[in-house]
Amino acid sequence: MAAVQVAQAPPPDESSRSASVEAGQTPTQQLTLEETLRIMDVATTLRKEQSVVEQQLNIEETKAMLRERLLAAAQVTGERLTEQQVDIAIEHYYDKLHVFEPPKWSLSLAMAHLYVMRGTIVKWVVTIGATAGLLSWLW
Amino acid sequence: MIGQAISGRSIGQAIKQATEQLRRHQAECQASLRKLDESSNDLVDRRGQTLLELAEHYLPEISRESVLVTFRGIRDELLDVLARKQRRERQLHEVVKQDETEAVRIQASLENVTDELNEKVAERQRLEAIVAERLTAHQPFQQLSQQALAAEQELQRNEERIAEIKQDASEKLPDYDNNRLFRYLYDCGYGTPEYQKKRMTRQLDRWVAKMVDYARSRRSYDFLRVTPELMAAEVVRRREQFNLLMEQIEAIEDGIADEVGLTEALRQGHRLGEQRDGLVADLTNLEQQFTNHHQELLALEGTQNDFYKQGVGQLKEFLAEMEHSWLEHQSRSTPERQDDELVAEIGWLNEQLDKARRESSKLTQEQRNWDERSEGLQDVMQRFRRADFDSRRSMFSGEFDVERQMGGYLRGELGREELWSALRRYQQFQQTRYQQRGWGGDDSWDGDSWDFDNMSGVLGRVLIEVAGEAMKHAVRRGMQRRGPIRNQSRRKSGRPGFGGGWFTQGRGF
C-alpha cells in the first residue's frame, strides 16, 4: 500500500530525493510504482532471455528430453517407432522451426500487397498525373 | 629409428671434415693454376722478346731506340698494373686471414654456448619433472583442473552451438526481410507500444497481420535476430569464468616453478638461446663474407679480373703492329736464316701457349666445380646450425650413411638440396615428456596448426594426467585459449615466455 501511495504522489525531484535520503530513507523506499514495475520488467526480460540462452546452449539436452518423451508416448500409443526415426523427426522439427512461411497466393494477398504499397502507388499516380497534366497544358 | 643412432654433433663433424677436404682440393687446384700461370707468363715473355727481335729486323721505320722506349713504357705500365694487383691480393689475403681468425673465434664461442645450452636443456628437463610431480600431488590444483577442463568443454560446445545458430539465422532471416507484408508491419511497429495507426489503417493492418501470422513470425524473427547475440554474450561471461579458473591454476604452476628454480633456468636458457642464434647468424654472415673475398682472390689469380683485362689491352695495342702472320710472311720473303729461326720459335711458343690455355681452362672449370661444392656445403652447414641439428638432442638414424652421402656430394653425384633433404629425413630430436608435441604420446595431431609458443608443456602434460587422456583435446584447446593472455601476464611479471618449450629458433634446445 505504501508503494501505491508513493505512486500516487507526484514524482519527487532531485532536491526532495536528497532531502529524503538525508531524512534516513533508503533508495528502495523512494521508488515509484512505475519505476518498480519497470525494474521488474527488465528483470523478467533478463530472466526470460537467460532462460532462452540456457535452453539454446543446451539444445542437445532439450532434444534428448524430447526424444525420451516421444519414445515413451509412442510406447503408450503402441506405435512402433525406432530411435532413429524419432531423431530424424526431431531434427526436421528444429530445421523447420522459425522458418518464415509466406502466405499462399490469392486475390486478398494481392490486395494486401497493394495496400502496403499504397504510399508508393500514390506517389507514382501523382507523378504520372502531374506529368500528363503538364504535357497537356504545354500542347 | 633403426640401428645405432648417430649424434648430431658427429654428423656436424663429418660435414666439417668434408668442407676441409673440399678446401684442400680447392687449394691444390689453385696451386696448379698458379704454376700454369707462371709458365704461361714465361712463354708470353719469351714470345714478346722474340717478336721484338723480329720487329727490329723487319721494321726499319721503327728505330731500336723507339721500340725499346715503347716496350719499356708498356712494361712499366704492366708492372704498375701488376703492383696494384699484388697490393689488392695482399689486402685480400689479410682480410681473408682476419675472416678466418674471426670465424675460429665465433666457432669457439658457438661451441661454448652450445655446450652451456645442452646443460641448460638437461637442467630444464630435470626441473620440469619436479614441477610436474609437485603439481600432480597438489590437491587444489587437481580440483581446479577438473573444473577448468569441464568449463572448457562446455565453452567448446557453446561456441559450436553459437556458430550453428548463427548459420541458421543467416539462412532464415532473409525470408522475413524480403517479405513485403511482414516488413511493412515490422517497420510500422505493429504489435508494439510504438504502433500509432488509427481506425481504418489499424483494421487493415490487422487483416495483413493475420495473413502473415505476424505474432508468430515476429517472435521467430526476434528470436533469430537477438538470440545469437545473447548467447555470444553468455559465452563471453563463461569464458571469463574459465579464465579465472585457469589463472588460479597457472599461479600454482608459476609458484612451484619459481620455487624449484625452473623460471630462472628458463630465463638463462632463453638468454643462451638468443646468444646462440646471434652467433649462428654472425657466422653465416662471416662465411658469406669469406666466400666473397675468397672468390675475389681467385678471380685475381685467374684471368677474370680488371687488372688482367687492363694489362691484356695494353699488350694487344703494342703487339698489334707485330702480327705473327705478317712477320712470318716477311720472313719467308727474305733469304736470311736468322729471321726463320725467330719465326719458328714464335710458332712453337704459340703452340705451347695454346696448350697452356687449354689446360688452364680445364683447371678453371675444375676450380669452379670445387668452389660451387664448397659453397653448397657451407650453405648446408649453415642450415644445419640454424636448425640446431648439432644439439645434444639431435639424433640421426643409424641407416644414415654419412660417409657415403658426403662422398657422393664431394664427387658431385649429390646436390646441396639432396644432401640437406637427406639430413632432414634421417634427423630427429629426442622428444621430452613436456614438449607439446609429446603431450598425447604421439604425433598424430596436426601440431603445426596450433600456436604452441605461449603454452607451458608441463602444465599441459600434467592436466592430461590429472584429467585423463580422453580430455587431451580439451586441455589443448584450453591452453590455446589461454596462451596469449598467459604470455602477456608472464611478460608483465618478468617471467620468461615458454617459447614453445625451446630456447632457440631452431627448436633443438
∠B76-B80-B85 over CA atoms, to 5°?
Answer: 145
Nearest residue on chain A to B183, alpha-carbon basis: A116
Distance of CA A20 to the CA centre of its chain: 39
Residue B406: phi and psi, rounded to 5, are -70, -40
Q: Is B179 on the interface with A (CB under 8 A)?
A: yes
- Residue B486 carries which side chain, given as an amino acid letter? R
Euclidean distance between CA atoms B158 and B122, whole angstroms: 42
Of B327, B312, B314, give the one whose Cα is nearest residue B51: B327
Sequence-distant (6+) residues with CB within 8 A of B73 are none
- Phi, psi of B295, deg, nearest 5: -65, -40
Gap between the Cα atoms of B254 and B493, Å rounded: 10
Going from N- to C-terminal start, the domains of chain A cover 1-55, 58-101, 107-138
Residue A59 in contact with partner chain B when CB distance is under 8 A = yes
Q: Check CB contact under 8 Å for A116 and B224.
A: no
The CB density around residue B44, as the number of other CB atoms within 10 Å, is 14
CA-to-CA distance for B246 and B149, rounded, in angstroms?
9
Measure the CA–CA gap between B363 and B357, rounded to whole angstroms.
10
C-alpha B245 chain-centroid distance: 40
A59 vs B contacts (CB less than 8 Å): 161
CA dihedral B179, B185, B189, B192 (to 10 degrees): -110
pLDDT band at A126 (very low <50, low <70, confident <90, very high): very high
B475: cell is 586441455
Comparing CA positions, the residue from B264, B246, B262, B270 lying closest to residue B489 is: B246
CA distance B211 to chain A (A): 6
CB B482 within 8 A of CB B152: no
- The residues, any chain, with a CB within 8 Å of residue A6's CB and separated by 6 or more, are A29, A30, A31, A32, A33
Taking the CA of residue A95 and the nearest CA in chain B, the distance in Å comes to 8
> Which residue of chain B comes nearest to A106, CA vs CA?
B211
Alpha helices in B387-410 (DSSP H): 402-410
Say if the Cβ atoms of B175 and A99 lie within 8 Å. yes
Closest CA to B322 of B61, B38, B78: B61
Cβ under 8 Å to B: A residues 71-90: none
Helix axes B8-58, B324-332, angle to 10 degrees: 40
- A98 and B234 within 8 Å at the Cβ level: the answer is no
Among A104, A119, A118, CA closest to B211: A104
pTM for this one? 0.67
Nearest residue to A47 (alpha-carbon basis) of B369, B54, B469, B230: B230
B172 vs A: CB within 8 A: yes
Closest C-alpha among B9, B509, B452 to residue B265:
B509
Alpha carbons B248 and B253: distance in angstroms, whole number? 9
Q: Lowest mean pLDDT: which of A9-23, A104-118, B259-273?
A: A9-23
Please give the pLDDT value at position B446.
43
User: Which of B159, B173, B186, B230 to probe by mutation at the A interface, max A CB count within 10 Å?
Assistant: B230
The answer to whether the CB atoms of B230 and A113 lie below 8 A apart is no
**Count of positions (residues) in chain A:** 139
Residue type at position B279: L
Find the radius of gyration of the CA atoms of chain A.
Answer: 31
pLDDT for residue A5 is more than 60 = no
Neighbours of B140 (CB within 10 A): 10
Query: Given an 8 Å threshold on Cβ–Cβ distance, is B231 in contact with A56?
Result: yes
Task: Give the 3-state DSSP-derived string for B49-66, with helices as H, strands as E and coil as C.
Answer: HHHHHHHHHHCCCCCHHH
Per-residue pLDDT of chain B (509 residues; tens, 9 = 90+): 446 889 999 999 999 999 999 989 988 988 898 888 888 878 877 887 787 777 666 655 555 566 566 666 777 777 787 788 888 889 998 998 998 899 999 999 999 999 999 999 999 989 999 999 999 999 999 999 999 999 999 999 999 999 999 999 999 999 999 999 999 999 999 999 999 888 899 999 999 999 999 999 999 999 999 999 999 999 999 999 999 999 999 999 999 999 999 999 999 999 999 999 999 999 999 989 988 888 888 777 666 667 767 766 666 666 655 555 555 565 566 666 667 788 888 888 888 888 988 998 898 888 889 989 999 999 999 999 999 999 998 999 999 999 999 999 999 999 999 999 999 999 998 877 676 554 544 444 444 444 555 678 888 888 988 888 888 888 888 988 888 888 888 888 888 888 777 888 887 88
> With an 8 Å Cβ cutoff, is A102 touching chain B?
yes
3-state secondary structure of B217: helix
Backbone torsions φ then ψ of B395, nearest 5 degrees: -130, 145
Facing residue for A116 by CB, picked from B168, B176, B180:
B180
Predicted confidence at residue B509, as pLDDT, reads: 87
Alpha carbon distance B257, B250 (integer Å): 10
Per-residue pLDDT, A6: 35
Extract the runs of DSSP E, i.e. beta strands, from A67-121. Answer: none
The pLDDT value given to residue B84: 85
Residues 6+ apart with CB under 8 A from A123: none
- Whether pLDDT at A122 is above 90: yes
- Nearest residue to B78 (alpha-carbon basis) of B44, B32, B31: B44
H helices of B179-334, in order, are 180-187, 199-211, 214-260, 262-301, 306-319, 324-332
Dihedral over Cα of B22, B23, B24, B25: its sign:
positive
Strand, coil or helix: what is A3?
A: helix
